[in-house]
Structure 1
Amino acid sequence: MLTFIVRYGYVPFMLLGINGAAIALAASGAPKWSLVALILFAVVCSFAAERALPYESSWNAPGPDRFRDAVHAFVNESLILVSVAVIPLMAAVIPFDGLWPSGLPFVVQVVFAVLVADFGITVVHLISHKVGWLWRFHAVHHSLERFYGMNGLMKHPVHQTFETAGGVLPLILLGMPVPVASALAVCVAVQLLLQHSNADYRIGPLRPILALNAGHRFHHLKWAGIGDVNFGLFTLIWDHLFRTYSFDPEKRFSSDDLGMAAKPDYPDDYLGQLAEPFRRQT
């Protein structure tokens, strides 16, 4: 019974339950700490699902990367929350009235924000695989050698800033309210947990549409060019349009498929990963 619940209920619980709670809290003006607590609860649920129904049991084994990934997650989630905090300051310097659809129901505004952010982040992500100096920062994320929820935020803070800007700046220019941004921050955190989850869940006919773990594993294939697929954060809509969508239902992943073949000795400690993009490239 537990296996069945995780396989078919975990994704709806996270996408509808956790995100729904975030939307309700943000709409009611709840204190920001309640949204932080909700993210922490989502992390606990992520670990529980991965242990109840792992895709690859060895990816659940604690290793030296656990502390590193926790630091990455803390730093980068803090950057996301800071970006929410500075929205009123950014809005104050916009030289025109925003075009935000404030007349729509709050939940629709959040869905609109998710779709706009999805496009901006997908484009920055795709460009990061094409432009050398951006790739050096993004490569931190591709150095992972096991696939589990916490490494969704295993990113260099410089690249995290660029991705966040790609998704959030268009929304700020449109006049996104802070409560919508707060709900969006939780949605991003939940999506990263799901997208990199080691839980062997199923989403049926939504697999080619939602950017979740089955499709995102192909993005982490370690061979240059082969992993340049499935760039979307929330959806795979833009990957279908950009012709970067890829999926093979027969493919089974292991740690041998992950990482970077061109840099097998990429630093695996936090400070080493922060410094690596600034080192002379050979």
Structure 2
Amino acid sequence: MLRILYAPLFCFGLIGLATWLVGYRQLSPLWLLALLPVAILLSLLAERLAPYQPSWNRPHGDGPSDLLHALVNEALNLASLAAIPLLAGLLPTPALWPLHWPLWLQLLLAIAAADLGITLMHWLSHRSALLWRLHAVHHSAPRLYGFNGLMKHPLHQLLEASAGVLPLVLLGLPQDIAALLAFAIAVQLLLQHGNVDMRIGALRHLFAWAPLHRFHHLRYGRAGDVNFALFFSFWDRLLGTAFYRADYRLGDQDVGIGDRPNYPRDYLAQLLEPFRASAPSAVTPQTPAALRSIQQP
């Protein structure tokens, strides 16, 4: 039952609760800072109760750096939210945002629009050598668990956030909707990377949760250039990058960067690595035969 209900309850329950608190109880968006640790703890608990790979629940020399990534990146998100009124004052922001819509519908619009921008930046980051250097920090993770979603180079997070949110700010995105959007993104990242053996069935046709996104972290060269979407999997159908194999279970040997198995684990080293002239340290491993045929999700 946990495997079946986890993803929809985690996603809709937490985002719905946040929307109710901020939108309808008129609480400060700062309350979302208290709700995010609850989401992280629920993710960690589910990973212990129903793990996809038990070995991924054990540290791989990445615990301290992952924690620092999460703290720094969420602090940057908070600073970005605080900067929205300043940006609105500095930039021409026509009153195009549908403030008369119900709050939940405004949030859904913001999620869909931001998802398109973030997905396209993500896709571009796998095709631009310069962007890949920054994005590789995220892909260097030796295992997949909830915290991996918050593990990003801060410069790459800034690029993704700008691609997804800046156009909305220019349309007059309210600060409370921006705060809810940031919280929804954090929840979705926990779901995408969670080490929970979730069974999402037909929901994979709509939502880009872990059963799809795990294949994006394949270490076999270009084999991982699939399932770029953050929220909605139909973007990958439009991009021609959708991939799913129900009969293939990923393990430690499948995750990471194939030609960089010794990518730094230390936080500061990971921040500096994109600016170093580092050559591949290994031959890219061959894609397993079971993954060579594409099956649309």
Q: Is the 8 A contact 2:118 2:163 kept in 1?
A: yes
Q: CA separation in 1, counterparts of 2:125 and 2:26? A: 36
1:275 aligns to 2:280 (yes or no): no
The Cα shift of 1:67 comes to: 1.2
Q: How many residues align?
A: 278
- Distance (Å, rounded) in 2 between the aligned partners of 1:139 and 1:50: 25
> How do 1:94-133 residues align onto structure 2 when only pairs under 5 Å count?
94-133=91-130
Residue 5 of structure 2 is aligned with which of 2, 9, 32? 9
Q: Is 1:264 aligned with 2:261?
A: yes
Structure 1 CA distance, aligned partners of 2:40 and 2:190?
7
Question: What one-letter code is carried by the residue in structure 2 that aligns with 1:186?
Answer: F
1:166 aligns with 2:163: yes
- The residue aligned with 1:76 is 73
SS at match of 2:224: coil
| SS of 1:225 mapped into structure 2 | helix
1:70, CA displacement in angstroms?
Answer: 0.7
When the two structures are superposed, what TM-score results if normalisation uses the length of structure 2?
0.91
Distance 1:96 1:158, change over 3 A: closer
2:74 equivalent to 1:86? no
Native 8 Å contact 2:92 2:170 kept in 1:
no
Q: Which residue of 2 aligns with 1:34?
A: 31
State the 1:82 CA deviation.
Answer: 1.5
* Among candidates 205, 208, 216, match of residue 205 of structure 2: 208
Displacement of 1:96: 4.4
1:180 correspondence with 2:177: yes
TM-score after normalising by structure 1:
0.96
Structure 1 partner of 2:247: 250
SS of match in other structure, 2:30: helix
- 2:289 alignment partner in structure 1: none
Contact 1:26–1:182 (8 Å) recurs in 2: no
Structure 1, unpaired ranges of 5+: none
Distance 1:82 1:26 in 2: 18
1:184-199 matched pairs, under 5 angstroms: 184-199=181-196
Equivalent position SS for 1:150: helix
Q: Which runs of 5+ in 2 are unaligned?
A: 280-297
CA root-mean-square deviation: 1.1
CA distance in 1, matches of 2:55, 2:270: 23
AA in 2 matched with 1:10: Y
1-structure distance, mates of 2:87, 2:186: 22
Are 2:66 and 2:148, in contact at CA under 8 Å, matched by a contact in 1?
Answer: yes
Deviation digits for residues 136-174 of structure 1 (CA, Å, limit 9, x no counterpart): 000000001111001111110110110111111111011
What secondary structure is seen at the aligned counterpart in 1 of 2:277? coil
Contact 2:91 2:170 in 1 (8 A): yes
Structure 1 residue 262 displacement after superposition: 1.2
Q: CA deviation at 1:12?
A: 2.2
Letter in 2 for 1:257: D
Residue deviations 1:216-237, cap 9 Å, x none?
0110000111100000001111
Question: Does the Cα contact within 8 Å between 2:88 and 2:170 map onto a contact in 1?
Answer: yes
User: Which has the larger displacement, 55-64 or 178-187?
Assistant: 55-64
Identity percentage of aligned residues: 48
Distance of 1:193 and 1:59 partners within structure 2: 14
Q: For 2:199 and 2:177, locate their aligned partners in 1 and report how far apart those are by CA, in whole Å.
A: 29
Within 2, Cα distance between the matches of 1:170 and 1:75?
24
CA offset digits 1:170-202 (Å, max 9, x no partner): 110111000101111110110000000001111
Match of 2:15 among 15, 19, 36: 19
| Cα distance in structure 1, aligned partners of 2:227 and 2:148 | 17
